[in-house]
Every structure is written in C-alpha cells, then in structure tokens.
C-alpha cells in the first residue's frame, strides 16, 4: 500500500487514521475521502463495497480453564457472562457478533463499570466470563492483553468480520485514475 501511495503521490495521498467506519463512510459520502477500509454499512446506499479481508471471531477465555480446548461452542459461551467494552473502536463488529449470539440464545451481559479493568480481568481469568476478539491469521501473534487469557475459536459461530474497500458507486465514471488505484488495491488483497 505504501508503494502504491508513493507511485500516485501527485494526485493521491494515502493516510492512516484511527477513524471508525461511520466516520470514513461519511468522509466518502461528503467527498473528503475517495475511499477507505470499513466495516460494511447497509445504510450507505451510494457506496460500493468490495470485501478485502475476512476474520473469524474467537472467545477470550481463562487460560487456566480453556487452554487445552481447540474450540468452544456458542452453547458453552452462553453459560458465561459476556464482557464487551463499548468504548473501544471495534464496537461496530462487537454489536454484529452480539446480535448473532443473541439469535442463538440469551447473551448474559456482565455488569461492570467502564474502565474497571481489574474486575474485567478477574471475570475472564476466573472462568466466569468471556469477551470477543478477531482470531489472528496463521503465524501472527495473539494480541491478548493478559497472560491469563487465551483466544479460542468459536466452533459453531458462522460470523465473519469483514473489512471492505468502500468507494462511491460512480468512481469509474468520474475518475479513471482513481478506479485504477482501487483495482490495484483489490488485486493486492486477492
């Protein structure tokens, strides 16, 4: 991606910023951005989405209790309290996964004060609660915060976290050079 930005630097500037999908989509719709990587949004109907990355979701669990497990089922997860912090930038995917889990049974949300890290850590490490996180690709290290946690695939959860390249539907008509950049980006991910 960096070399693509360098080769097109006269007209395009590639930037990386910690925006949530809604902000990126708004930027594209208002013309401040030409494209961006987002979670798909069915309400932005004048945008095209091309899926460039799919990730499975795993359960963050107690290492002591679940380290030897190759996977866990949704039914097993639903016996635990669920901890999902609404302050993080990944809230968009968490809501989608939570909705999927709710379809499969009643999701018990843990009661805790936002920012109460010690209580959250204790809930998961003790085996009473779980959280969710994307599973790393093979060969990538786990990004778990605490050694007491382990990330286990959810065997019967068919949800995939999608990352899409979003751009305006009329891009090919309005800017051929930009369309070439988009085509190149899509090829890089295939």
Tens digits of residue pLDDT in 89-112: 456 677 778 888 888 888 888 876
Query: 2-52+162-189, superfamily in CATH?
Result: Periplasmic binding protein-like II (3.40.190.10)
Q: What is the pLDDT of residues 130-150, one digit of tens each?
A: 998 888 888 887 777 788 999
Which has the closest alpha carbon to 81: 64, 67, 101?
101
Q: For 60, which DSSP code?
A: E
Backbone angles phi, psi at 109, to 5 degrees: -85, 130
Does the domain at 55-157 match CATH 3.40.50.300? Answer given as: no
**Three-class SS state of 131:** strand
Q: What pTM was computed for the model?
A: 0.75
Mean pLDDT of 150-171: 90
Q: How far is CA 20 from the centre of its chain?
A: 10
Planar angle of CA 111, 63, 86, nearest 5 degrees: 30
Residues of the chain with CATH 3.40.190.10: 2-52+162-189, 55-157
For 25, 130, 147, 150, the CA distances from 142, given in Å and listed in that order, are 29, 16, 11, 9
Torsion sign across C-alpha atoms 29, 162, 89, 13: negative
pLDDT of 120 over the 70 cut: yes
């Amino acid at each position: 991606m960096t070399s693509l930005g360098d080769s097109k630097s006269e007209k395009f500037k590639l930037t990386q910023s910690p925006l949530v999908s809604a902000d990126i989509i708004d930027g594209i719709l208002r013309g401040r951005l030409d494209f961006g990587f987002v979670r798909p949004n069915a309400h932005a109907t004048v945008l095209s989405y091309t899926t460039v990355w799919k990730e499975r979701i795993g359960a963050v669990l107690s290492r002591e209790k679940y380290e030897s497990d190759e996977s866990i089922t949704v039914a097993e997860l639903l016996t635990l309290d669920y901890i999902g912090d609404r302050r993080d930038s990944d809230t968009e995917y968490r809501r989608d996964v939570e909705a999927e889990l709710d379809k499969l049974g009643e999701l018990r949300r843990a009661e805790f004060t936002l920012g109460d890290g010690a209580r959250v850590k204790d809930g998961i490490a003790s085996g009473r609660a779980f959280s969710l996180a994307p599973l790393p690709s093979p060969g990538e290290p786990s990004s778990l915060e605490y050694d007491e946690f382990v990330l286990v695939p959810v065997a019967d959860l068919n949800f995939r976290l999608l990352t899409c390249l979003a751009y305006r539907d009329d891009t090919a008509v309005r800017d051929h050079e930009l369309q070439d950049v988009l085509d190149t980006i899509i090829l890089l991910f295939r």
